[in-house]
Structure 1
Amino acid sequence: MDLQKPPPEPRPPEGCLVTAVRIPVRIVALVLVVPVRMAWDALVVVGRVLRDAVLRPLGRALAWLGNALFVLPLVGLWRYVLVPVGRALALLAHVLVVVPARWLHRYVLTPVGHALTWLARYLVAVPARWLYTWVLAPVGRAVARCVRGLGRLAGAVAAGIGLVLYRTAHVLLVLPALALWRWVLAPAGRVLAVVAREVGDALGHAWRIAGHLSRAVGRVLGTLFRWIFVEPLSWVYRTVLTPVGHVVRDAVLHPVGQAVRAVGRGAREALTAARDTVRQVRADVRRMLFGDPRHPIPVDRREPSRPGTRTLGNSTTALTKD
């Protein structure tokens, strides 16, 4: 596998117009692009610092707070209140609405619909079929033949008119437009393409040069920032804040955490008791609506015992009877 880059394609020879346009355009582009590139790099650095130091911790805190204040209460409400109530209402609606509606459809609406379908067949379908076969179909065929003849005549007239208009438009519009494109617009487009290409190349070179300058300035500012702020703050964090944080963790946070865990255990026990109560109430409501469940009656499914086989010793036929 060849890892070397292919040699660049040779560019066509450039004229004096290209050389005269290139140098001024590149100088102006460099002067205009350097401040823009440095401002852009500064904004990128500030945005990264804000994202890592402010926005991400704030987002995690807001997510935890939203989960504790909204998601968990809503989940508990849905699981332990709305779902049991919805099931009870669905069961009640099935008993009060679905079963009567099914009976009405099966024993009232279906027979009436069948009767109306027999009646409509003999009063509407048969006369309509006769009318279509003996009246509408012959009239439609005649009208179709007339329309096809008129269409052929109109097509011939439109073709003649279209040919005349095409010839006229070709002479009055196409030939002048072709001459304008060939002798005016194409040369002007070539000149504008050369100018646009040189402007684009100049902007690219200026952007790359501005990037190198911006990186050098950024390294200098980063070194100064580390010397002035980062190293003193790191020293304060190691020598002052870390011991204070350990003291706060051992004296305040651990007792508070134990108290919160105790409250959580009490809340879980309360939720368990409430769930058992809801289950018992639901069972009582089902028992009041449908009664106690029927217990299946055991049925003896064993096969009857086969009688003993007859032998010559206990036979009672006439041949063996004494």
Structure 2
Amino acid sequence: MDYGKHQAPAHYEAGEGCLTTLIRIPVRIVVLAIVLPVRMIWDALVAGARAADRILLRPLGRALSWLLAMLVVTPAVWLYEAVLTPLGHALLWLAAAVFVWPWVALWRYVLVPAVRYGLVVPVVWLYEAVLTPIGHGLRWVYRELLAPVGRGIAAAVGWVLTALFVWPVVGLWRYALVPLALAAAWLAEHLIVRPLAWAYRELLTPLGHGITWLLERLARGIAAVGSGLWAAVVWLVLTLLVAPLGRLYRRVLAPVGREIAAAFGVAWRIAGYISRAVGRAIAWLAWHLIGAPVTWVYRTVCTPVGHFVRDAVWAPAKRAAVEAGRAARAALRTARETVARARRDAWRALVGGPRAPEPREPGSPLARRLGATQQAMTVPSAAPEPEISSRGEKNAERG
């Protein structure tokens, strides 16, 4: 194959070697013997946990949730709605009636009127009728009398203080202290500052430069010696420690680790295949030894017996119970209506009641009249109307 002028050759990777291939199969067999029981136990535990969750834990959880709802939640809700809520409302009303309403009434009908008419109104009257005129008068006295007098006194006192204190201090500063300060500054500059500047420029600066150059050369020499020693130490560590450890890791530890990990992975998968095969065999045996006979018994024996019991025993008993319940409810309803009617009749006979409207002739009174075809019904304990109408009623009807 022609790689071309500028194309690099493919990277060469060394093979595994016959020794690795020879050792790999026994290692995987040993690892399979170790992993297989663990995988079978794991699969058995997983299957048992799923069966327990499906058969035991979920129905048990639903039953416990139903019991909790029936025994705790429903009574708690009823207690809260039927007992605690009315009791809380009553206690709240009682607390408001005992602690809040008296203080509100005291504040609204006692304290507020007392403060308003006993303190605020007199204070406002005192401010408007007494203090305001007095304040206006005092303001006029201050503006017209005290302010001019105070301004004159302040001007006189200011002139006296200026003549006694300000003018002497200004003269002392201008004609005595300023010349002395100028002379002292000239002497300090010529006797102290200029000699010190010359000594720094001509003596200290060259001496500092020489010391700095010497220290720099010394530091460079020490750094060169330290760099050489550090390079030697690094080379020794790399040659005697890092390179052997890296070669050991690349040549021994990494291949051994990869082979062990691959062996465990292959063994785990093979053990899974074996475990599933064993599980299917056990399930086949359980079905043919237990499941199929039980299914045959259920379909052949239990189902016909259950149908016979349902059709011959349960359905007639259920119909009889339903009919008996209906008859009992009808009898109870009839008895309640009879008792209610008897109670109403007894109460009407004892204390009287509103007269029931009866059909009568149009325009005719409730009392019986001569020549009427329908008679009025009488009610016990009710006074009957006269059979003959009075002359006034006849005249009113004619009119």
In the superposition, the TM-score normalised over structure 1's length comes to 0.46
Bigger radius of gyration: 2
Name the structure, 1 or 2, with higher relative contact order (CA <8 Å, separation 6+): 1
In the superposition, the TM-score normalised over structure 2's length comes to 0.38
